Amino acid sequence: MLSLEGVYAGYDDALTLHGVSLEVKRGEMVAMIGANGAGKSTTLRTICGFLRPKRGSIEFDGHSIAGLTPDRIAALGLVHVPEGRRVFPDLSVEENLLAAAYLLRDRREVQRRLAEVVERFPWLRERRKQPAGTLSGGEQQMLAFGRAMMTGPKLLLLDEPSLGLAPRLVGEVMRSVKMFRDAGVTVLLVEQNANLALRLADRGYVMETGAILMQGSGAELLANEHVRASYLGARRNAPQH
């Protein structure tokens, strides 16, 4: 469904990505883990059109999308939920949801999607008139998910959905991420909490210094010694004397 081959990209004249190749198949949840500055968010920004690749190819659902504008890419069904939620703080919860469906001409379809979103996130109905800026960080993340669902995505790019949230909210956010996959939405998840991400994911990629270091199933990467030592807080076996 999504394929990157040999993608180089960056900011101004500095390259951040060095030949990134990855694949996300329809219906999968794929996690991308790595340290801060490894290039994970840059990869998502390049996929969704905010950065143009210097070299390489990006294909989505049978279309070459390298170099397309973000709005044209989003219209194909590839939806980016960026780090930091970025809801409209002065608009109500309901207005935020409806704003996400601005391209839809069919009002009945808009209402159908709205009903589906509030069924999945019932508290949104209760808070529908409340300004989004007054919500907690976790609630704003759920609203960001609801806005993404209003667009009718084929593939969701989720960038650090648990970042900055209290531990008690992280599990709730991750349950919502799993809900997308269970609903048949394909997901590419960038997440600092590597343990949670790999437990949710069908497959994963490990990124270091702008390149893919390794890949495998979520279970394989969870069991990998380098991944455990570098990203899961596990200590390597001490040498025997």
Mean pLDDT within 58-74: 93
Taking CA 48 as the corner, what is the angle to CA 143 and CA 2, rounded to the nearest 5 degrees? 105
Mean pLDDT within 195-224: 95
Q: Which two tokens stand for residue 53?
A: 């690749």
101-137: pLDDT as tens digits: 877 788 899 999 899 888 888 888 888 999 999 998 8
Mean pLDDT within 46-64: 95
145-195: pLDDT as tens digits: 899 889 888 999 999 988 888 887 888 888 888 888 888 889 999 998 899
- d(C-alpha 39, C-alpha 45), whole Å: 10
pTM: 0.87
74-111: pLDDT as tens digits: 989 999 988 876 889 999 999 999 988 877 788 899 99
Burial of 179 (0-12, 13-18, 19+ CB in 10 A): middle
Q: Of 196, 98, 135, which Cα lies nearest the Cα of 126? A: 135
Write down all domains in the chain, each with its CATH number in brackets: 2-86+152-231 (3.40.50.300)
3-state secondary structure of 208: strand
